[in-house]
Chains A and B, each alone.
With several copies, the nearest count.
Chain A
Amino acid sequence: MEKLQYKLENFEGPLDLLLTLVAKNKIDIYDIPIAELLEQYMEQIDLMREADLDVASEFLEMAARLVYIKTASLLPRQEDEEDPRMELTGLLLEYQQCKAAAEKLKTLAAFNTVTRPAEELPADFIYKRIHDPRELRQALRAAWGKGKSLMPPKPESFSALVSARIVSVASQTVYVLRTLWKRGSIAYRALFAGKDERSARVAVFLALLELVKNRRVRVEGDGDLCEVKLMGREKA
């Protein structure tokens, strides 16, 4: 038999290699000389190993299968028993058809048209389903009270445990504005006079920031000269 010059990676798999051997040796696929085929197949595998190439497990599996078929065909067979080579014949025929079909497809492949990306249209989000109004009542009932168990406890709920009073920013906003309405302006430090608790001082400071942001008051100067003025009502 003729030596093959192919490399294993040129084959799509063991069936491809077997088909090549079959074609090369003009083997009748319906009457495979299994011993010869096995010998050639193993030669290819050995060549690969000599070349230090990884032989894919599928090739080794097929080798085992060929050995099995060879052994089985040496044993005497009952008349109604199938020739163990027939399964291999079936596999090879099927793969042969697959290759032929691939060749046919290749002649059709064109890849000569380009399609268009979908147009990006703004979606219409407006909700249009119709509901029973009673669903709202049910939903409200479901929502109700969920909060009490899930929300972090409000600061007030600690008031009994914590001696420090919590001073709200809102109350200090009122304090700052009231002071300024009376006096027009006040020294920054004076604003904190009498605010002994830290909570109160923080609240005054936050209230001041808020008022500055909303352009209700202005802070001028720095250090000890820093002054807070009510806007739109400045004195000369």
Chain B
Amino acid sequence: MSIEELTGQAEAILFASGEPVALDRIAQVLGVRTAAAEKMVSALQDKYNTPESGVHLLMLGDSAQFCTNPAFIEPVRAALDLKRNTPLSQAAMEVLAVVAYNQPVTKAFVEQVRGVDCSGVVGSLVQKGLLEERGRLELPGRPLLYGTTENFLRCFQLESIDRLPPPPGEGEQQEQEEDSDDGEDDGPEQITLDV
């Protein structure tokens, strides 16, 4: 099979799935090595990720996902009658931060750090697809472990969880105080983090 045809198949899989698809999975289905799948996805990224393209292809951890070009969010919202995403509450942000920097973690850990019950917030973050269950801790009571999702990476414009900014406390000195930009409406550019 030609590389063009294989790439077309990868494109079809990514498109039809809607969800992030692991490169491994694409490779397995197409009967190629993961490196080859990686190349195909990278070729697709070159094709899609232009400023005028309506569709972009994101890498989220080891998975790829099609989504709309961030520059065109307004017409898309208008056409689909989507409400602006209600910004996350302070509590939700704090829970996300604790999980993101320490995952996988139990709810008890999050509650210990924050000093308050977090069941409701954790539940709603799971429902929003920002957190997910990651098995259980082999301790009495076998508490559930939580981690961030690929959807979290997409919403926070991270290519992978390694790209989180360094945790506060470490490397605090390089960090400039200035930026109060809320990231929300500063347009299409993907924020690139230098880590």
| A-to-B contact residues, CB < 8 Å | 12-16, 56, 58, 62, 91, 94-95, 97-102, 104-144, 146-151, 154, 169-170, 173, 206-207, 210, 214
Give me 18 other A-B pairs in contact (C-beta within 8 A), A12-B114, A127-B88, A128-B85 excluded: A12-B91, A13-B114, A14-B116, A97-B169, A115-B68, A117-B18, A119-B17, A121-B76, A123-B77, A131-B155, A137-B168, A139-B96, A140-B191, A143-B94, A143-B113, A150-B114, A154-B195, A214-B142
B111 to chain A minimum Cβ distance, whole angstroms, is 7
A113 near B93 (CB under 8 angstroms)? no
Q: Are A130 and B115 in contact (CB under 8 A)?
A: no
Q: Mind listing 17 A-B residue pairs with CB under 8 Å?
A: A15-B116, A98-B113, A107-B191, A111-B155, A112-B188, A113-B70, A114-B77, A114-B80, A115-B66, A116-B16, A119-B17, A124-B77, A126-B129, A128-B155, A135-B93, A137-B167, A148-B115
**Neighbouring B residues of A206 by C-beta, 8 Å:** 140
A115 nearest in chain B by CB position: B67
Rounded to whole angstroms, the CA-CA distance of A113 and B82 in the bound complex is: 12
CA A235 – CA B162 in complex, angstroms?
A: 51
CA distance A200 to B125 in the complex (A): 39
Assess whether B17 is in contact with A127, with CB atoms less than 8 Å apart.
Answer: no
CB-CB under 8 A for A146 and B113, given A110-B70, A113-B73, A133-B165: yes
Assembly CA distance A206 to B141 (angstroms):
11
Cα–Cα, bound, A129→B82 (Å): 15
Whether a CB of chain A sits under 8 angstroms from the CB of B100 is yes
Are A104 and B85 within 8 A (Cβ)?
Answer: no
Question: Which of A15, A113, A206: most chain B Cβ within 10 A?
Answer: A113
Question: Which of A108, A119, A154 is the one whose CB lies under 8 Å from B67?
Answer: A119
Pairwise interchain contact B67-A150, C-beta atoms closer than 8 A: no
**What is the bound-complex CA distance between A148 and B169, given in angstroms?**
17
Instruction: State A95–B129 Cα separation when bound (angstroms).
Output: 25
Q: Cβ of B133: which chain A residues have Cβ within 8 Å of it? A: none
Bound Cα distance from A131 to B141, whole angstroms? 35
Contact in complex: A140, B154 (CB < 8 Å)? no
Given the interface pairs A101-B100, A109-B183, A114-B76, the reply to whether A58 lies near B115 with Cβ below 8 Å is: yes
B contacts, CB < 8 Å to A: 12, 15-19, 56, 58, 65-70, 73, 76-77, 80, 82-85, 87-88, 90-91, 93-98, 100-101, 111-117, 127-130, 139-142, 151, 154-158, 163-169, 179-184, 188, 191, 193, 195
**A114/B68 contact (C-beta < 8 A), A101-B101, A124-B82, A131-B156 known:** yes
Nearest CB on B from A32, distance (A): 16
Contact between A170 and B165 (Cβ–Cβ < 8 Å)?
A: no
CB < 8 Å neighbour of A147 from B114, B167, B179: B114
A106 contacts B16, C-beta separation under 8 Å: no
Q: How far is it, in angstroms, between the C-alpha of A128 and the C-alpha of B150 when the chains are bound? A: 12
The answer to whether A132 touches B183, judged by C-beta atoms less than 8 angstroms apart, is no
Q: In the assembly, what is the distance between CA of A56 and CA of B97, in Å? A: 23
Measured CB to CB, the closest approach of chain A to B22, in angstroms, equals 15
| Given A109-B88, A130-B155, A143-B98: A114 in contact with B168 (beta carbons within 8 A) | no
Give every chain B residue within 8 A of A137 (Cβ-Cβ).
97, 164-168, 180
B90 contacts A56, C-beta separation under 8 Å: no
Instruction: Report which of B73, B77, B156 forms a contact with A108, defined as CB distance below 8 A.
Output: B156
Contact A114–B100 (Cβ < 8 Å)? no
Q: Let me know if B156 and A210 touch, CB within 8 A.
A: no
